[in-house]
Structure 1
Amino acid sequence: MAKTLGPVKRKFSPWTDSSAKPFIRFENITKRYGDFTAVDNLTLDIYEREFFSLLGPSGCGKTTLMRMLAGFEEPTEGRIFLQGKDLSGTPPYKRPTNMMFQSYALFPHMTVEKNIAFGLQQDGLSKADIAARVEEMLKLVKLDSFARRKPAQLSGGQRQRVALARSLAKRPKVLLLDEPLGALDRKLREETQFELMDIQHTLGLTFLIVTHDQEEAMTVSDRIAVMDKGEVVQVATPAEIYEAPNSRYVAEFIGDINLMECSVVGNRAGDPPVVTLECDGLTVAVEQECAASVGDRVAFAVRPEKVRMSIDPPADSSVNAVHGEVWDIGYLGDFSVFLVRLEDGRIIRAAQANVARLVDRPITFGDMVWLSWPLDAGLVLMR
């Protein structure tokens, strides 16, 4: 079986099919507010039934992009297409989209079932159709027994599910989720992420979520668009974003990583190709095809969990191996993070899974240790 980057979430990848047409297309979209450019000449395709995430720091343009799709903002330049139809000039209430806000925006004086029914009543559905749809939504979000309660009588997670049911009741073609889980505690947020995935797969809808939470985006998404300063920096699956970031920015933004500035001293083609780097006295070899030339300045990146730590030196300590002192330790339950200080003062992080409750020779503060990693563990970044 061919090697792949990380586990395959599901057998669904229309973006790899050159004949597949995008369900949503942002085409050369720019949005300006006076002298400030929130979104800068952005083009992005999203496919039907995708769970797609816009991920980035505050102010990167992700919410603005979603609001333009919903019709709450108009692009300064460019066009947005949904199923091939240009949405220019189409008001929000005529777009086949619905948005779920972080605040949930439930009516406090209405019961759960009346909150869910509100939008359907506005659309003029019959009482029988509304009752059937509300019952369907209550079962979907597992709130059958809470139908007659009011929002104040619900937990945060239950209110979140009422808001989700209300958003889905009108059967939009696209559900827009703006930081939908930000108000939940960590454990409930993790549980709800999987519930969202199950609901999205069950209904076969297209979900577009805006978040600054990396773990959330990595958990729920089929693909992620990492944004910075109004631009999309990389679009890929969660595993590709994590294992093969295309830049220093993406590598540092997603997860924890060790980054070193280096010079290319060798670039050997072959099977496998190997790039050799000189990183301020440390020789690093990377199994990777790379367009860099000898003498170019690049970055070497390696994730802490890919770094092996031992008291004894590795079999070959001439490459991809460093010696240093354990400077600090973070115990996180399922794994521990070790900060190892090299002789030149650099800090390298190593992560170890805590697979056993008892350890014969635990590595602790002040220990001198060796860090090493295989050829295919690291990555050369040219930008």
Structure 2
Amino acid sequence: MPSLGNIRRSFAPWEDPAAKPYISFQNVTKRFGTFTAVENLSLNVYEREFFSLLGPSGCGKTTLLRMLAGFEEPTEGELYLDGQPLKGVPPHKRPVNMMFQSYALFPHMTVADNIAFGLKQDGMAKPERDERVAQMLKLVKLEQFAGRKPHQLSGGQRQRVALARSVAKRPKLLILDEPLGALDKKLREETQFELMDLQQELGLTFMIVTHDQEEAMTMSDRIAVMDKGVIVQTGTPAEIYEAPNSRYVADFIGSVNILEGKVTPAGEGRIVLDGPDGRITGAVRDGAPATGETAWFAIRPEKIEIGRTPPEGAVNRLEGEVWDIAYLGDMTIINVKLASGTVVQAATLNRFRLVEDPIGYEERVWLSFNPDSGVVLRS
């Protein structure tokens, strides 16, 4: 049975009507004076889920986490954790740990002492505390650095110390606010998989804030895309990428071409869009737009074929001139300017080291794509 993208794991409690949410925001609004950071927001997150809040700066995602951690109180609405209301519960009495982007390690303490700090504050006996610290050091692969101070560690190692300290108390929920933002690209990619493995090994619920779409797509079971204090779409990474519900989501997640036109029915679950770029046939999944209505066809660059001759039998084909070319190693991005002035981006996978007669600048080319390869959007 076909699915939208590959499935990372079979875990999907949100599809079970009987499943009880572990975290529940119910009609939550948060105002700071006259500014509304979060507006009438409802959201359910399930136990053992790796959930990401994704959106631009100022969209309200960090405010949500701060309310969950207890650093802010909702202006309106209710917030529940494991069925218990959180209103009025101070941060230190919530079974929640929050890991900040800055890591906030104590510079005068060793790695081991940093990890043990929260356990010591809770009055855990030293033998048990030492055993827990040893477990955490092994978990994050820092056993040989136990006696070092934070300034003697790399950025990635400090990140692991902060993570070990966050999970040492076995919180029911770990909140991560841009936890990998200070790492370089390669280390960030490696750490993403380490976080995923750690989350599943410990069986914790992770809720992470990020503005990095690739980070959210890599690690998450589900993603909530936010804009101006509201959630505009929630779904698995594949659902968000392959079936966005608006131009905002389509444009925010990855690269996308969005072509506009007036609607004409085409039968068999398809419509035709007549626009400045020509006629485009698209498949409609639900809620077909009305005849004459303006709609948009969103298609990802990797779904577009490019060639020098008109493709035979292609339902959708557009002619244009190569405007820009970017070689990225694993793929090549080609921008094609159409007669209308619209620039359409196509991506080709570099499967071979050598390319015979590659497409060059200013060449006339044809773009083709299947109606099912994109999605028709009404807004």
What TM-score comes out, normalization by structure 1 length?
A: 0.97
Question: For residues 344 and 117 of structure 1, what CA distance do their matches in structure 2 show?
Answer: 64
What's the CA shift string for 1:111-155, capped at 9, x where partnerless? Answer: 000000000000000001100110110011010111001101100
Match of 1:306 in 2: 303
Question: For residues 277 and 121 of structure 1, what CA distance do their matches in structure 2 show?
Answer: 65
SS in 1 for 2:373: coil
Written as runs of structure 1 = structure 2, the 5 A alignment for 1:134-153 is 134-153=133-152
SS in 2 for 1:376: helix
What's the CA shift string for 1:35-92, capped at 9, x where partnerless? Answer: 1000000000000000000000000000000000000000000011001100000000
Q: Which amino acid aligns with 1:147?
A: A
Q: Which amino acid aligns with 2:345?
A: R
Match of 1:127 in 2: 126
What's the CA shift string for 1:313-362, capped at 9, x where partnerless? Answer: 10136x41011110110111100110101122111100001111101110
Written as runs of structure 1 = structure 2, the 5 A alignment for 1:265-304 is 265-268=264-267, 270=268, 273-289=269-285, 290-304=287-301
Question: For residues 309 and 376 of structure 1, what CA distance do their matches in structure 2 show?
Answer: 17
Written as runs of structure 1 = structure 2, the 5 A alignment for 1:189-268 is 189-268=188-267
SS in 1 for 2:68: helix
Written as runs of structure 1 = structure 2, the 5 A alignment for 1:309-348 is 309-316=306-313, 319-348=315-344
Q: Which amino acid aligns with 1:324?
A: G
Q: Which amino acid aligns with 1:303?
A: R
Match of 1:159 in 2: 158
Question: For residues 246 and 340 of structure 2, what CA distance do their matches in structure 1 show?
Answer: 26
Match of 1:42 in 2: 41
Contact in 2 for aligned 1:156/1:184 (Cα 8 Å): yes
SS in 2 for 1:159: helix
Contact in 1 for aligned 2:259/2:277 (Cα 8 Å): no
Question: For residues 271 and 131 of structure 2, what CA distance do their matches in structure 1 show?
Answer: 62
Give the deviation of 1:102 after TM superposition.
0.2
Q: Which amino acid aligns with 1:352?
A: T
Question: For residues 61 and 35 of structure 1, what CA distance do their matches in structure 2 show?
Answer: 15
Q: Which amino acid aligns with 1:225?
A: A
Select 2:369's aligned residue among 369, 373, 377: 373
Give the deviation of 1:204 after TM superposition.
0.7
Structure 1: where are the runs of 5+ without partners? none
Q: Which amino acid aligns with 2:274?
A: E
SS in 1 for 2:336: strand
Check if 1:115 corresponds to 2:111: no
Question: For residues 281 and 307 of structure 1, what CA distance do their matches in structure 2 show?
Answer: 15
SS in 1 for 2:372: coil
- Cα gap change, 1:226/1:112 in structure 2, threshold over 3 Å: closer, same or farther? same
Question: For residues 244 and 56 of structure 2, what CA distance do their matches in structure 1 show?
Answer: 17
Check if 1:352 corresponds to 2:348: yes
Question: For residues 113 and 199 of structure 1, what CA distance do their matches in structure 2 show?
Answer: 19
Question: For residues 378 and 326 of structure 1, what CA distance do their matches in structure 2 show?
Answer: 22
What's the CA shift string for 1:139-189, capped at 9, x where partnerless? Answer: 110101110011011000000000000000010000000000000000000
Q: Number of aligned pairs?
A: 378
Give the deviation of 1:195 after TM superposition.
0.2
Question: For residues 192 and 340 of structure 1, what CA distance do their matches in structure 2 show?
Answer: 36
Question: For residues 139 and 77 of structure 1, what CA distance do their matches in structure 2 show?
Answer: 43
Q: Which amino acid aligns with 1:286?
A: G
Task: Choose 187-196 or 338-347, whichever is displaced more.
Answer: 338-347
SS in 2 for 1:295: coil
Give the deviation of 1:288 after TM superposition.
2.4
Contact in 2 for aligned 1:276/1:286 (Cα 8 Å): yes
Give the deviation of 1:287 after TM superposition.
2.2
Contact in 1 for aligned 2:277/2:318 (Cα 8 Å): no
Question: For residues 214 and 374 of structure 2, what CA distance do their matches in structure 1 show?
Answer: 21
What's the CA shift string for 1:225-273, capped at 9, x where partnerless? Answer: 00000000000000000000000100000000001121111152x4xx2
What's the CA shift string for 1:354-378, capped at 9, x where partnerless? Answer: 1111011100111111000012111
Written as runs of structure 1 = structure 2, the 5 A alignment for 1:13-24 is 13-24=12-23
What TM-score comes out, normalization by structure 2 length?
A: 0.98
Question: For residues 282 and 202 of structure 1, what CA distance do their matches in structure 2 show?
Answer: 52
Contact in 2 for aligned 1:267/1:294 (Cα 8 Å): no
Structure 1 residue ranges (4+ consecutive) displaced by more than 2 angstroms after TM superposition: 287-291
Question: For residues 211 and 110 of structure 1, what CA distance do their matches in structure 2 show?
Answer: 29
Question: For residues 140 and 222 of structure 1, what CA distance do their matches in structure 2 show?
Answer: 22
Give the deviation of 1:281 after TM superposition.
4.9
Match of 1:26 in 2: 25
Give the deviation of 1:280 after TM superposition.
2.0
Contact in 2 for aligned 1:29/1:42 (Cα 8 Å): yes
Give the deviation of 1:196 after TM superposition.
0.1
What's the CA shift string for 1:192-248, capped at 9, x where partnerless? Answer: 000000000101100000000000000000000000000000000000000000001
Q: Which amino acid aligns with 1:312?
A: T
Contact in 1 for aligned 2:260/2:296 (Cα 8 Å): yes
